[in-house]
Structure 1
Amino acid sequence: MARSTARKRALNTLYEADEKGQDILSLLAERIEQPGAQTPLPEYAIEIVRGVAEHIAAIDAMLDEHSTGWKVKRMGVVDRNILRIATWEIMFNDDVPNMVAIDEALGLAKTLCDDDSPAFIHGLLSAVSADAQASPVDGQPTEPLAE
């Protein structure tokens, strides 16, 4: 299954947990155990949801730091969770290039959000990406320092 589909399924799970005020990992466990009418969650969707849940404080702090005028709690639920997925990919998943994470987030935003969301999401994720490249989470620079 394509990673784009996995991102959409992860978004559905994060959205549902957010709307219900339910713990992300408990909802994920329910979805894994009983997928209901849907096909089982793709492995990458599970990885995204677990990653977002594990790092949600750092993700939301990074988004709050770079968002002008809109703190994470005030953002629309879909926007917020698209941003969380992409920010997790940028900050914590070295397998996904930052530009791919941003492009995938924009694709979701264009189909699921209002007309203003893609520009907002693009600007915010670009700032997150620039910051992540300047100061990676593990403290190691992405480029070797000149001696």
Structure 2
Amino acid sequence: MARSTARKRALNTLYEADEKGQDILSLLDERIAHPGAQTPLPDYAIDIVKGVAEHRRQIDMTLDDHSTGWKVRRMGVVDRNILRIAAWEILFNDEVPDKVAIDEALALAKTLCDDDSPAFIHGLLSAVCNAKNTEPAGSVDDEPAEESNEPDQSGQTDFPASEPAAPSAETQPTVD
């Protein structure tokens, strides 16, 4: 099965876990055991989901560090998970060239997200690639500090009041 299809199937699983607030690996185990009407998940889709689950904190911190004005938790669910897949491929999967990871993410975004998302995703993933290629070896594997999604004592988050709305895509991706 083509890796493009595997990425889309991985996106479906990550999206579902994100929307349900379910542990990624427990949902993956369910999908492997009971694929339902769909064909079993391709091996590469399983690799992606496991990789994103294993490195999600590092991936999200990297995306947060390079995103201009948007934290991962404020991004649309589909956008966020497309970015996680591509970031995992860029940072942790040496078998996929960075440009391929970006192109595949853009192909998903163009079919599943709103009109602003592809440019946002392209810019953010390009920044991740540039940083990866300029950082000293081993820095990607460093354990990030714990981040809180809670507002501070004043009830404020770390976002300015004048910030525009994040690109969102609230339609669930489907498999062809």
TM range (shorter): over 0.9
Contact 1:102 1:122 in 2 (8 A): yes
Read off the aligned partner of 2:26 and give its amino acid letter. S
Match of 1:44 in 2: 44
**Per the alignment, do residues 101 and 137 of structure 1 end up closer, same or farther by CA in structure 2, a change over 3 Å counting?**
farther
Q: How far off its partner does 1:134 sit?
A: 1.6
Read off the aligned partner of 1:93 and give its amino acid letter. N
Q: How far off its partner does 1:137 sit?
A: 5.8
Is 1:125 the equivalent of 2:125? yes
- The count of residues paired between Structure 1 and Structure 2 equals 140
User: Which structure 2 segments of 5+ residues have no match?
Assistant: 141-176
- Could you list the per-position Cα deviations for residues 75-118 of structure 1 after superposition, in whole angstroms to 9, with x for gaps in the alignment? 00000000000000000000000000000000000000000000
Match of 1:59 in 2: 59
The equivalences for 1:9-88 within 5 A come to 9-88=9-88
Q: Distance in 2 between matches of 1:16 and 1:137?
A: 34
Q: Distance in 2 between matches of 1:136 and 1:49?
A: 27
Q: Distance in 2 between matches of 1:68 and 1:80?
A: 14
Q: Distance in 2 between matches of 1:72 and 1:93?
A: 21
The equivalences for 1:92-107 within 5 A come to 92-107=92-107
Read off the aligned partner of 1:46 and give its amino acid letter. I
Q: Distance in 1 between matches of 2:48 and 2:132?
A: 18
Q: How far off its partner does 1:136 sit?
A: 6.0
Q: RMSD of the TM alignment (CA)? A: 1.2
Considering fraction of residues, name the structure with more helix: 1
Contact 1:91 1:136 in 2 (8 A): no
> In terms of Rg, which structure is larger?
2
User: Which structure 1 segments of 5+ residues have no match?
Assistant: 141-147
Q: Which has the higher contact order (CA 8 A, sep 6+)?
A: 2
Percent identity between matched residues is 79
Contact 1:79 1:117 in 2 (8 A): yes
